[in-house]
Structure 1
Amino acid sequence: MTRSLPGPSDHVVVVGAGLSGLSAALHLLGAGRRVTVVEREALPGGRAGRLDLAGYRIDTGPTVLTMPDLADEAFAAVGDSLAGRVELIPLHPAYRARFADGGTLDVHTEADAMAAEVERFAGAAEAAGYRRLRTWLEQLYRAQLRRFIDANFDSPLGLLNGDLARLAALGGFGRLDSRIGGFLKDERLRRVFSFQALYAGVPPARALAAYAVIAYMDTVAGVYFPRGGMHALPRAMADAAGDAGADLRFGRRVTRLERSGDRVTAVVTDQERIPCDAVVLTPDLPVAYGLLGRRPRRPLRLRHSPSAVVLHAGTDRTWPHLAHHTISFGAAWRGTFDELTRTGRLMSDPSLLITRPTTTDPGLAPPGRHLHYVLAPCPNTDLGPDARAWTDLAPRYRDTLLRELERRGLDGIEAAIEEECLVTPADWQARGHAAGTPFSAAHTFAQTGPFRPRNLVRGTRNAVLAGCGTTPGVGVPTVLLSGKLAAARITGVPRPAAARARTAPAPTNTRTAPAPTKETTA
C-alpha cells in the first residue's frame, strides 16, 4: 500500500480548476471530504480553457480526447456520469494522415475498417502486420494501466510486480521505433503509430516501447469530441463538483500558503484566507514548489518536452480534404526530432496537427464560418529561442506557417482568415509553464513512473501535487488520473468507481465568481 497523508483531511483546498484539479475534487467529494477549489481564471479548465473571439469559440488547450471512461470515473465518484453531462461524438476517422508523397491514410479505431484501410494504402502484408500490432498494443495497455499508469509510487521498488515481467516480455523496455518496425515495414505507417512520442518529449528512436500505450489510446480505444468543444469537459466537471457540494471560487489568485511547522494551515489568495486541513496543488511544478517554499532533491535537472506554436484561425471557408484531425507529415522525420530535442532549431520540414472542430460541431463558429487549429511543435525555451526572441519571431513564423499550409493544399488560407490568435512558447511561459512548454517534463526513463517528480513533496506533510508535471504524466487521460491519484494520497487507496456509493455532502452550489468578464485562456 502506498503512503497517504497523515493527520486530519476534512477540508481540502484544491488550487487550480484544470482537469487534474477537478478530477481530484470529484474524487475527494466522493470520499466525503469538504472541498474548496480556487482558480485564478474566470472559468474552469486550466490548459483546457476557452477563448471567445467574435463568435468563434476556441479551445485553448488539448483538442484530442481519448479514454473518456477515465473522466467518467471522476463523475462516478459523486454518483454522476459523463454521459449525463456531456455529449461525446466518436470521430470517424480518428485522424487523417497526409504524407509528403501525396498519400493519405484514414486512421480507424475499428479493427476491420483499419485493416482494410492499411491494405488499400500499403498492401496485404502490412494489413496483417497491423493486426499483430493491434494485439500487442492491447496487451501492452493491460500490462501497464493499473500498476504503472494508474498508480502512486513511493520508490522504484514499486515497480517490482508481476506486471513488470509481463511488460518486459512484451518488449516494453526496447525502443519504440524498432518495436513498431517489427510489425510494420512501411515507414509512413510507422509514423502513424509512433508520432505520439513527440508529446511525451522523446523521439521514437529513443523512446521506450512502453510509450506505444499512447498509440493504443489514439488508434484502438477511440478518439472523441465533446459537443461544445473540449472545454465542455472541464465545465461539466466543475458543474458536477458544484452540485456535489464543492465551493468553487473563480477569479482568485493564490499568493501564498500559510504553514505551521510541516503542515499547510491556510491558502491565501488575493481576496481571502482559506483555512484547510490539506491542499492539492495543480500549477506547473516551479509554481507549486515556489508556493511550498521547497523542491525535491534530484540528481539531474528536469528535462522538458518540446513546446508548440498554435495558430487558431477563424475563416470564411474550409478545405474538404481536412478531417476533424489531420496530421500533415513533412518529408523529414528523424531530423525533425533532432531539431526539436537536440539542436533547438525550428522545424525545417514540419509535421503539423490540423484540427477542424467545426467539422463535428458547426456551432463553434458563426454561421457559414469555420474554425481551424494548427499545432506546430517547436523547441522549448530552454533549448530553442527564448521568450524575448519570440517577440520578433512570432509574426515571421506565423507567415512561414501559412505559406507551408498553402503549399500543402490549404490554398488561400491567409486571405480566408477573419479572426486569429497565435500562441507561442513565450505565451506558455507567461502562463507559468516551465521552459515555455504546455507539455511539461519529458517522459525520459529517468522522469517516468517512480522516477517522475512525485506527487508528495518532502518537508510538507499535508500537500500533494497533481497535473502533467507529476505522476503519471502528460495528456488528458493521465492528467485525469493524476487528480485521482492525488485524492488517493489524502483519502487512502480508493475503491473502484463502480463500487463507490455517493458520500459527498448535500448539494449547496456555493460557486463564487467575479462579475462577468470576457472569458480568457487558462
Structure 2
Amino acid sequence: MRAPGRNPVVVVGAGLSGLACALHLLGAGREVVVLERDEHPGGRAGRLDRDGFLMDTGPTVLTMPELLEEAFGAVGETVADRLDLVPLTPAYRASFADGSKIDVHTDRDLMAAEVARAAGPREADGYLRLRDWLTRLYRVEMRSFIDAPVDSPLDLLRPDLVRLAALGGFGRLAPAVGSRVRDERLRRIFSFQSLYAGVAPEKALAAYAVIAYMDTVAGVYFPKGGMRALGAAMAGAVTKAGGTVRLGDAVARLERRGDRVTAAVTESGERVPCDQVVVTADLPAAHRLLGHTPRRPVPLRHSPSAVVLHLGTDRTWEGLDHHTISFGRAWRGTFDEIIRQGRTMSDPSLLVTRPTRTDPSLAPDGHHLLYVLAPAPNLAAGRIDWEREGPRYRDHLVRVLEERGLSGLDASVRTEHMVTPADWARQGLAHGTPFSLAHTFAQTGPFRPRSTVPGTANAVLAGCGTTPGVGVPTVLISGKLAAARVVARTGG
C-alpha cells in the first residue's frame, strides 16, 4: 500500500540483488516497481533455450540458501514455497593432472575420510584445522563486515576487527591455507575460489577464504529447473506481495530535480515517478544513468573474465559429477597468464558443470548439458581478438577435456553456445567481465564503491560492483542492505 503522497521505490534491474531488495522493501511496507530490460528475471543468472536444452548462462553454484530464505521471509514466504533445492553431495569433484580425484564434501566426517583416503591421516587432521579456521573466519566476517553496512574505514573499528586480525585475515590466502594442509591438491581446492574475486591466491587477502567456507563447509545446492529458477521464484514472490515487475522495459535515463531522482524514464518514453531509486546495473552503466562520475585517485581494477562453453551432448561420462573442477598441471603460472600477461591459460583449469546429473529435465531424453567455464583475461588486461580466436579456443577446450577423460566429447555435441569476454561486453558488462570489480585490498569493504551516490539524496546502488561484492550470496546481501538504506531514509 502506497503511503499518502509517496511514490513507489523504483528498482532498476530484476537481477538477484534487485529482486532481493524488492522483497525486503515490500516486507517493510514500501510500494515497489522493478524495471528490467530483459524478457525474464534473474539478471546475470540468465537463461538460453536451444534445441530442447535449457541452459543457465550465469552462475551455476548456489551456496548460503539461508540468504534466500531471509529474502522470501520478508514477505511471509519460504524457499520451499517457491523452489526445490537439492543439496549436492559431493559439492564438487576435483580432478587432477596425475589422474587422482578428490570429492569435496561439506560434511565434516565425510570430507575428513576423503582427505585421509587421498592424502593420508596427517592431511585429514590439517583439513579439520582448516575447516575450524574457515568457520571462525566466516562468523567474524559475516556479522561485522559482509552482512553489515561499511561506508568508511572508521566502520571497520569494531571488536571483530581485532578478531579478524588475530585469525590472520589480513595475511595472504595461499600461505594461510598452506600452513594447514601441505598436499598441493588440497591447497588448490581451498584457494582456487580467489580467482573469481579477481586475485591470485598468493596475493589475495586470507579473509577471502570465506568464499571457500561457503563452498566447502556451508554446502552447495542446485534448484530444480536450473539456476534460472531463482529469478523466476523471486519475481513471483515480489508480484504476490503486491510489487510490480516489468520485464522487457529498459530504463533509458533517470530524471533528476536537484539532488533527487524524480522518475525513471523507459526506452518507450514512459515516465515512472519514484520516491527512491535503487540501481543494480553494472557500475559504469549505473553511474551513467545517475549522471555521476566517480572520482578515485587510482582507477578501478576489474576481475578476470571467463569463456563459457555450453554443450548439449547425447552422452555423458562417469568421471563427471554435478560440479567437476578439472585442474591442469600448471597453477601459479595460470594466474599470471590471465591477470598479468592477459592471455588464455596454456594449461587450463576448468569448472565443468553437468546440471542434468541432478535435473534430467534440462535436456531432451537421453541427452545431457555441460557448462564449461574457463577463466580468461578481461578486455582491459588482454588484447585478444575473440571473433577470430573464439572458435580456436573452443576447439582447444574440447580437446583438453577429451585428453582428460571425456573421450568422444566433440562427436557427442548436438547443440552448443559459446560466450567470450567480447560477448559479456556486448551485454553491457565493463571490460567484458561478469565478475565486476576485483577484490583487491583497495577495492574491499569501505574502499569498494559505496552503495550511496554522492550528490544524490535518494539513490542507492546494489549488485556485485558495490559492497559487499561478487557472488550470489553477496549480491543477495547487497539487495538487503540497499533496502535497509531506503527504509532508513524514508522512515518506518
TM-score normalised by structure 2 residue count = 0.97
Match of 1:273 in 2: 271
> Partner of 1:196: helix, strand, or coil?
helix
Match of 1:507 in 2: none
Residue 465 of structure 2: which of 466, 469, 491 is its match? 469
Residue 322 of structure 1: which of 313, 320, 323 is its match? 320
Structure 1 residue ranges without an equivalent (≥5): 1-7, 495-502, 504-522
Match of 2:447 in 1: 451
Distance in 1 of aligned mates of 2:179 and 2:92: 23
The answer to whether the Cα contact below 8 Å between 2:338 and 2:377 also exists between their aligned partners in 1 is yes
Distance in 2 of aligned mates of 1:360 and 1:49: 19
How far the C-alpha of 1:10 sits from its partner, in A, is 5.1
> Partner of 2:77: helix, strand, or coil?
coil
Distance in 1 of aligned mates of 2:226 and 2:138: 27
The answer to whether the Cα contact below 8 Å between 2:421 and 2:432 also exists between their aligned partners in 1 is yes
Match of 1:401 in 2: 397
The answer to whether the Cα contact below 8 Å between 1:266 and 1:276 also exists between their aligned partners in 2 is yes
Residue 248 of structure 1: which of 245, 249, 253 is its match? 245
Match of 1:302 in 2: 300
Match of 2:66 in 1: 69
The answer to whether the Cα contact below 8 Å between 2:7 and 2:273 also exists between their aligned partners in 1 is no
Match of 2:97 in 1: 100
Distance in 1 of aligned mates of 2:176 and 2:151: 30
Distance in 2 of aligned mates of 1:240 and 1:136: 37
> Partner of 2:211: helix, strand, or coil?
helix
Distance in 1 of aligned mates of 2:11 and 2:156: 29
Distance in 1 of aligned mates of 2:236 and 2:398: 39
How far the C-alpha of 1:383 sits from its partner, in A, is 0.5
> Partner of 1:137: helix, strand, or coil?
helix
Compared with structure 1, are the counterparts of its residues 403 and 18 closer, same or farther at alpha carbon in structure 2 (3 Å cutoff)?
same
* Number of residues of Structure 1 aligned to a counterpart in Structure 2: 486
Distance in 1 of aligned mates of 2:98 and 2:87: 29
Residue 312 of structure 1: which of 310, 315, 329 is its match? 310
Match of 1:515 in 2: none
Name the amino acid aligned to 2:253: R
Distance in 1 of aligned mates of 2:339 and 2:194: 12
Distance in 1 of aligned mates of 2:48 and 2:252: 25
Identical pairs, percent: 68
How far the C-alpha of 1:16 sits from its partner, in A, is 0.4
Name the amino acid aligned to 1:273: R
Task: Establish whether residue 175 from structure 1 lines up as the match of residue 172 from structure 2.
Answer: yes
Task: Establish whether residue 19 from structure 1 lines up as the match of residue 16 from structure 2.
Answer: yes
Map 1:140-159 → 2, pairs under 5 A:
140-159=137-156
> Partner of 2:82: helix, strand, or coil?
coil
Distance in 1 of aligned mates of 2:427 and 2:149: 28
Flag as ranges the 4+ runs of structure 1 deviating above 4 A: none
Name the amino acid aligned to 1:334: R
How far the C-alpha of 1:49 sits from its partner, in A, is 1.2
Match of 1:359 in 2: 357
How far the C-alpha of 1:445 sits from its partner, in A, is 0.3
The answer to which structure, 1 or 2, has the higher relative contact order (CA under 8 A, 6+ apart) is 1
Map 1:108-127 → 2, pairs under 5 A:
108-127=105-124
Match of 1:413 in 2: 409
Match of 2:211 in 1: 214
The answer to whether the Cα contact below 8 Å between 1:9 and 1:278 also exists between their aligned partners in 2 is no
Distance in 1 of aligned mates of 2:425 and 2:343: 18
How far the C-alpha of 1:199 sits from its partner, in A, is 0.3
Q: Report Cα offsets for 1:131-151 as digits up to 9, x if no partner.
A: 011111110000000210011
The answer to whether the Cα contact below 8 Å between 2:251 and 2:265 also exists between their aligned partners in 1 is yes
Q: Report Cα offsets for 1:301-326 as digits up to 9, x if no partner.
A: 00000000000000000111100000
How far the C-alpha of 1:394 sits from its partner, in A, is 0.8
Map 1:324-339 → 2, pairs under 5 A:
324-339=322-337
Task: Establish whether residue 384 from structure 1 lines up as the match of residue 400 from structure 2.
Answer: no
Name the amino acid aligned to 1:170: L
Compared with structure 1, are the counterparts of its residues 9 and 323 closer, same or farther at alpha carbon in structure 2 (3 Å cutoff)?
farther
Name the amino acid aligned to 2:57: T
Distance in 1 of aligned mates of 2:466 and 2:370: 31
Match of 2:232 in 1: 235
Distance in 1 of aligned mates of 2:183 and 2:205: 20
Match of 1:82 in 2: 79
> Partner of 1:220: helix, strand, or coil?
helix
The answer to whether the Cα contact below 8 Å between 1:295 and 1:457 also exists between their aligned partners in 2 is no
Task: Establish whether residue 42 from structure 1 lines up as the match of residue 45 from structure 2.
Answer: no
How far the C-alpha of 1:295 sits from its partner, in A, is 2.5
Distance in 1 of aligned mates of 2:253 and 2:110: 54
Name the amino acid aligned to 1:147: S
How far the C-alpha of 1:152 sits from its partner, in A, is 1.4
Q: Report Cα offsets for 1:382-408 as digits up to 9, x if no partner.
A: 00135xx11111111111111111111
Residue 341 of structure 2: which of 322, 339, 343 is its match? 343
Map 1:490-501 → 2, pairs under 5 A:
490-492=486-488
> Partner of 2:278: helix, strand, or coil?
strand
Q: Report Cα offsets for 1:152-204 as digits up to 9, x if no partner.
A: 12211000000000000001001000000110011111000000000000000
Q: Report Cα offsets for 1:7-42 as digits up to 9, x if no partner.
A: x97510000000000000000101111000000011
TM-score normalised by structure 1 residue count = 0.92
Residue 481 of structure 1: which of 472, 477, 480 is its match? 477
Q: Report Cα offsets for 1:426-480 as digits up to 9, x if no partner.
A: 0100111111000000000000001000011101111100110001000000010
Distance in 2 of aligned mates of 1:460 and 1:197: 34
The answer to whether the Cα contact below 8 Å between 1:137 and 1:216 also exists between their aligned partners in 2 is yes
How far the C-alpha of 1:253 sits from its partner, in A, is 1.2
Match of 2:134 in 1: 137
Match of 1:516 in 2: none
Name the amino acid aligned to 1:83: A
Map 1:273-292 → 2, pairs under 5 A:
273-292=271-290
The answer to whether the Cα contact below 8 Å between 1:119 and 1:126 also exists between their aligned partners in 2 is yes
